[in-house]
């Protein structure tokens, strides 16, 4: 059961209040490379990304942000550190949301940002990171980092509310998976939409594991309204991973892909076949299960709930539906034939 949160809109994308969990990513180029940035946004959109974030570190970047915003097919979030004037510029240039850490600004500067956000009806993500944990909050919480991060968030949140502003998304991220999970469980009680992710999770290999554990644990608790998988990789990889996490938990429509680990009974190049089918099903927006199994003896039975499956069979492939064999196809044409079967299923 998902926790109840307030609904806000990032551009035309609803976040919170029971809306579908939105997938986010962030461009990893300077926004002054406008063409490259647009290419990344388009590639992510094609993969299923709902919202894109862009770093705006200086005035030149803010001007480029304005151009990119006009051309972006996805709502665009401006990521601002330290300089409140850039937050204001980004909102005036059409940002669909801004992300700030209020701890990096004076209260007077924060007030200017809040006034501008009100005027332009722009949501703000309060982003608190474990790297900038407040020393006084740490002392107050007897060194409990999760509680200290939650306390910092609560103080910011109450300040925004006191200023009459509640168009907010909250995020508390840590490089530590446990800390991320513990802190988000605490801030979930505030009732605002939450952006979840494990920050600076590293390269694809370990990063995927950290993100899947952290994001997965929170989603299973019903926490999280928008997700960003953070990876040192192309943003498209982040979107694919986020999508896979959501599909695996039944929180997004899409194909559940199953392939066996293969064992000594397998007589085919299972990995090549599995990769080809897996890439084919990437953009299918249907709740179906597709299986690629190593042998005909156990494969169909081991995956008898698959809507459609293929299993290696001594130089041939057996096709099966819900565990029942219905066709045997020569290996040189099997993959193409199987793709047609998938198309038929998705008609
Ligand atoms: S489906 Fe066949 S090849 Fe794959 S793991 Fe099971 S027994 Fe081994």
Residue 322 Cα to ligand 1 middle (Å) = 17
Residue 261 Cα to ligand 1 middle (Å) = 7
CATH superfamily of 8-248: Dihydropteroate synthase-like (3.20.20.20)
Q: Is the CB of 67 under 6 A from ligand 1?
A: no
Q: How confident is the model at residue 18 (pLDDT cuts 50, 70, 90)?
A: very high
Q: Is the CB of 286 under 6 A from ligand 1?
A: no
- β-strand 51-55 against 76-79: which pairing, if any? parallel
**Residue range(s) of every CATH 3.20.20.20 domain in the chain:** 8-248
Q: Is the CB of 143 under 6 A from ligand 1?
A: no
Which of 259, 261, 263 best tests ligand 1's pocket when mutated (most atoms within 8 Å of CB)? 263
Q: Is the CB of 249 under 6 A from ligand 1?
A: no
Q: Is 138 within 8 Å of 145 (Cβ atoms)? A: yes
Poorest-pLDDT segment among 65-69, 294-298, 331-335: 294-298
Which of 298, 303, 310 best tests ligand 1's pocket when mutated (most atoms within 8 Å of CB)? 298
List residues bridging with 291 in a β-sheet.
Answer: 258, 309
**Residue range(s) of every CATH 3.30.413.10 domain in the chain:** 256-345
Which atom of ligand 1 is least distant from the CA of 311?
A: 1
The mean pLDDT value for 31-55 works out to 97
Which atom of ligand 1 is least distant from the CA of 263?
A: 8
Fold of the 256-345 domain: Sulfite Reductase Hemoprotein; domain 1 (3.30.413)
Q: How confident is the model at residue 242 (pLDDT cuts 50, 70, 90)?
A: very high
Q: Pick the most confident of 85-89, 266-270, 318-322.
A: 85-89
Query: For 281-320, what is each residue's pLDDT tens digit?
Result: 988 989 999 999 999 888 888 888 999 999 998 889 999 9
List b or e across 112-147, with b for residues whose CB sees 16 or more CB atoms inside 10 angstroms: bbbebbeeeebbbbbbbbbeebbeebbeebeeebbb
Instruction: Compute the distance between CA of residue 319 and CA of residue 170 in angstroms, rounded to an integer.
Output: 48
List residues bridging with 227 in a β-sheet.
Answer: 23, 196
Q: Is 78 within 8 Å of 95 (Cβ atoms)? A: yes
Query: For 195-219, what is each residue's pLDDT tens digit?
Result: 999 988 888 889 999 999 999 999 9
Residue nearest to atom 1 of ligand 1 (CA): 299
List CB contacts of 139: < 8 A, sequence separation 6 or more. none
DSSP H helices in the chain: 34-47, 59-71, 84-92, 107-120, 135-140, 145-162, 177-187, 204-220, 235-248, 270-280, 299-302, 331-345
Q: How confident is the model at residue 20 (pLDDT cuts 50, 70, 90)?
A: very high
Q: How confident is the model at residue 132 (pLDDT cuts 50, 70, 90)?
A: confident
Q: How confident is the model at residue 162 (pLDDT cuts 50, 70, 90)?
A: very high
Instruction: Compute the distance between CA of residue 268 and CA of residue 315 in angstroms, rounded to an integer.
Output: 7
End-to-end CA distance of the chain: 32
Q: Is the CB of 260 under 6 A from ligand 1?
A: yes
Residue 277 Cα to ligand 1 middle (Å) = 18
pLDDT at position 202, please?
87
Q: Is the pLDDT of residue 111 over 90?
A: yes
The H or E element containing residue 52 is: strand 51-55
Report how many helices (DSSP H) and strands (DSSP E) the chain contains, helices first.
Answer: 12, 15
Instruction: Compute the distance between CA of residue 45 and CA of residue 65 in angstroms, rounded to an integer.
Output: 18
* Threshold 0.95, pTM exceeds: no
Which atom of ligand 1 is least distant from the CA of 265?
A: 3
pLDDT at position 315, please?
83
């Amino acid at each position: 059961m998902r926790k109840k949160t307030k609904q806000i809109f990032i551009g035309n994308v609803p976040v919170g209040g029971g809306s579908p969990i939105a997938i986010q990513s962030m461009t990893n180029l300077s926004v002054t490379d406008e063409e490259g940035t647009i290419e990344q946004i388009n590639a992510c959109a094609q993969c299923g990304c709902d919202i894109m974030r862009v770093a705006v570190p200086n005035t030149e970047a803010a001007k480029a942000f304005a151009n990119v915003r006009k051309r972006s097919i996805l709502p665009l979030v401006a990521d601002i550190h330290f300089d409140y004037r850039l937050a204001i510029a980004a909102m005036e240039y059409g940002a669909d949301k801004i992300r700030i850490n209020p701890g990096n600004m004076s209260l007077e500067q924060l007030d200017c940002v809040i006034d501008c956000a009100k005027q332009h009806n722009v949501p703000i993500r309060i982003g608190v990171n474990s790297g900038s944990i407040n020393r006084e909050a740490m002392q107050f919480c007897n060194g409990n980092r999760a509680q200290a991060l939650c306390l910092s968030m609560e103080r910011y949140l109450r300040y925004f509310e006191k200023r009459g502003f509640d168009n907010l998304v909250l995020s508390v991220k840590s490089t530590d998976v446990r800390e991320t999970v513990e802190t988000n469980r605490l801030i979930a009680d505030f009732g605002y939409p939450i952006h979840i992710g494990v920050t600076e999770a590293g390269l694809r290999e370990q990063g995927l594991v950290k993100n899947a554990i952290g994001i997965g644990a929170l989603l299973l608790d019903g926490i999280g309204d928008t997700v960003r998988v953070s990876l040192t990789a192309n943003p498209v990889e982040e979107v694919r991973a986020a999508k896979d996490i959501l599909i695996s938990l039944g929180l997004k429509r899409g194909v559940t892909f199953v392939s066996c680990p293969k064992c000594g009974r397998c007589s085919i190049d299972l990995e090549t076949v599995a990769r080809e089918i897996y890439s084919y099903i990437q953009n299918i927006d249907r709740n179906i299960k597709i299986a690629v199994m190593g042998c005909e003896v156990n494969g169909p039975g081991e995956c008898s709930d698959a809507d459609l499956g293929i299993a290696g069979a001594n130089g041939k492939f057996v096709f099966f539906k819900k565990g029942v064999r219905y066709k045997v196809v020569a290996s040189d044409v099997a993959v193409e034939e199987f793709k047609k079967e998938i198309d038929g299923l998705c008609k």
